[in-house]
Structure 1
Amino acid sequence: MNITGLVAVSGKPGLFKLVGQNKSGFILEGLDAQKLKLVVNLSTSKLASLEDITIYCDDEDRRLKDIFEAMKVYSKTIPSSKEDAKVLRAFFADVVPDHDQERVYTSDIKKIVNWFSIIKELPLFDEEEPATETQAEETKVELVEESVKEESTEKKAKTTKKPAAKKTAAKKD
């Protein structure tokens, strides 16, 4: 699942895809059928990248992407975001049994279910996540380290140590 570039905007329903940036803010495109484009100014609105959202759990927080993956393989039908709070809580307890029930509110569960219903119809739902920059950088660092090791091994094999000449200092009276 590739949720890179998907954002939620405070005060706006639905999800948006980050298209670009200009002087006044970010250019977003709606993921609904209308494909509405809008410019969001960061001084007046808050953007939340789905990639950065985590859910409180007992041991450690879980990424939203992992929650979506669990919902994807869930065997029963996923309830609507308009269902009763008890139904949504029971569903979320099945999908994420270790979530912190005190800190994860019903409104959060409604948002997650709503977002899932939006993105499950998109092609990026089945798309693999591209390699991140940190993964690419780690690969580059590993390759550089390997080449440096190979070069130093080759240099050691080619060079032989010569005995150092002794220096004597003459004293002047």
Structure 2
Amino acid sequence: MTLEKILAISGKPGLYVLKVQTRTGFVAESLLDGKKITVNLKSNVSLLSEISIYTYEGEKPLAEIMQKIADKENKGPAISHKEDNVKLTAYFKEILPDYDEERVYPSDIKKVLNWYNMLQAKGLVTDEVAPTVVTEETQDKEEADAVAEEAPVTEVKAPAKKAPVKK
């Protein structure tokens, strides 16, 4: 599941797809009604691909959690985010047994399930995990890193700058 261009905008309901970047912000299209809006750079915007959920071992990316929900539900809709908190936490415990119950609130679980159901309704829930793009540049960097690990570390000093001459 790829969440690279899916946005959550503070103060606006639903999710948005990033369409175009502009000089003063960007244009996003609502997944709820398809309307396009302009968003300035001062707005609080979160990319879903950058959101993580706290676990006792660290943090899990939202894409992984949504993939687990999709696997559990066979790509179908999850339970409603409007269920009571006890039911929501029990469901989330099935999905992510090691989530940090002190730092992940019921409101966070509601958001995740609401977002999943929105994406599922639009057909954006797929088996496709964000692919790792291997380019010549990344291969060259990996090769350079491997060579750097093998090579002895030597210190290189930059040449001293000359002071300007006063006339």
Structure 1 length-normalised TM? 0.74
From the superposition, tell whether residues 143 and 96 of structure 1 become closer, same or farther in structure 2 (CA, over 3 Å). same
Q: SS of the counterpart of 1:38? A: strand
Q: Decide which moves more: 72-81 or 114-123.
A: 72-81
What corresponds to 1:63 in structure 2? Answer: 61
The structure carrying a bigger helix percent of its residues is: 1
Asked whether the equivalents of residues 6 and 15 of structure 1 are also in contact (C-alpha less than 8 Å), the reply is: yes
What corresponds to 1:46 in structure 2? Answer: 44
Asked whether the equivalents of residues 78 and 91 of structure 1 are also in contact (C-alpha less than 8 Å), the reply is: no
Q: SS of the counterpart of 1:124? A: coil
Alignment of 1:105-144 (within 5 A): 105-126=105-126, 128-132=128-132, 135-136=134-135, 137-142=137-142
Q: Decide which moves more: 111-120 or 123-132.
A: 123-132
Structure 2 length-normalised TM? 0.76
1:88-122: CA deviation from partner (whole Å, max 9, x where unpaired): 01111111100000100110000000000001133
Distance 1:53 1:81 in 2: 18
Q: SS of the counterpart of 1:120? A: helix
Alpha-carbon RMSD across the aligned residues, in angstroms, is: 2.5
Distance 2:113 2:130 in 1: 24
Identity of aligned residues (%): 36
Q: SS of the counterpart of 2:72? A: coil
Distance 1:127 1:70 in 2: 10
Instruction: Provide the aligned length of Structure 1 versus Structure 2.
Output: 144
Q: Which stretches in structure 2 are left out of the alignment for 5+ residues?
A: 146-167
From the superposition, tell whether residues 91 and 36 of structure 1 become closer, same or farther in structure 2 (CA, over 3 Å). same
What corresponds to 2:15 in structure 1? Answer: 15
Q: SS of the counterpart of 2:37? A: strand
How far does residue 26 in structure 1 lie from its aligned partner after superposition? 1.1
Shift >4 Å, 4+ stretches: 142-145
Asked whether the equivalents of residues 27 and 38 of structure 2 are also in contact (C-alpha less than 8 Å), the reply is: yes
Distance 2:37 2:60 in 1: 31
1:35 aligns with 2:24: no
How far does residue 140 in structure 1 lie from its aligned partner after superposition? 4.2
What corresponds to 1:95 in structure 2? Answer: 95
Q: Which stretches in structure 1 are left out of the alignment for 5+ residues?
A: 146-173
Distance 1:11 1:116 in 2: 19
